[in-house]
């Protein structure tokens, strides 16, 4: 298995098992999250912790289902189905996500493309911030 495919597979496994420490260990301290693309990039260790903490709360839980993974070496593109339980409501978002890993196999960059839902609210952490010009 190439490094990017290994990283994506573990990302999904640890996330779905709610194994926070193993999931956090997948990432480089130089991590860049563009989640979603169009929002300001989220950087470093702080971004890794915030991504987890804002996805798993008392009334919010997401489960990942990779529909298609295409990987080559240190990069992968994934069609990901994100199923959420948000305050008891079942929701689903399909995203296209790109992963880049460094030479040691740590994830250094994730870009997540998805349409913002209109019928429920994501955490503001996962909503593009628009500035008025």
- Rounded to an integer, the average pLDDT of 122-129 is 55
The rounded percent of the chain whose pLDDT value lies above 70 is: 86
Q: What is the mean pLDDT of residues 34-42?
A: 88
Q: pLDDT by residue (tens digit) across 50-62?
A: 889 888 888 889 9
* 64, pLDDT greater than 70: yes
* pLDDT exceeds cutoff 80 at 130: no
Q: What is the pLDDT of residue 128?
A: 57
Is a pLDDT exceeding 50 seen at residue 67? Answer: yes
Secondary structure in 3-state letters for the chain: CCHHHHHHHHHHHHHHCCCHHHHHCCEEEEEEEECCECECCEEHHHHHHHHHHHHCECCEEEEEEEEEEEEECCEEEEEEEEEEEECCEEEEEEEEEEEEECCCCCEEEEEEECCCCCCCCCCHHHCCCCCCC
Q: Give the pLDDT confidence score for residue 94 in this predicted structure.
A: 94
Determine the pLDDT at residue 87.
83
Q: What is the mean pLDDT of residues 15-25?
A: 97
């Amino acid at each position: 298995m190439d490094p990017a495919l290994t990283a994506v597979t573990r990302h999904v496994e640890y996330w779905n098992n709610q194994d926070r420490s193993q999931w956090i260990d997948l990432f480089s301290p130089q991590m860049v999250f563009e989640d979603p693309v169009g929002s300001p990039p989220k950087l470093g260790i702080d971004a890794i912790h915030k991504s987890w903490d804002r996805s798993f709360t008392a009334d919010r839980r997401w489960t990942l289902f990779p529909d298609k993974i295409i990987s080559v070496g240190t990069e992968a593109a994934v069609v990901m189905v994100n199923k959420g339980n948000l305050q008891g409501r079942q929701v689903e978002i399909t995203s296209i996500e790109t992963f880049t890993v460094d030479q040691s196999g740590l994830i250094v960059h994730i870009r997540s493309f998805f349409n913002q839902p209109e019928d429920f609210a994501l955490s503001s952490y996962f909503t593009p911030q628009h500035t008025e010009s």
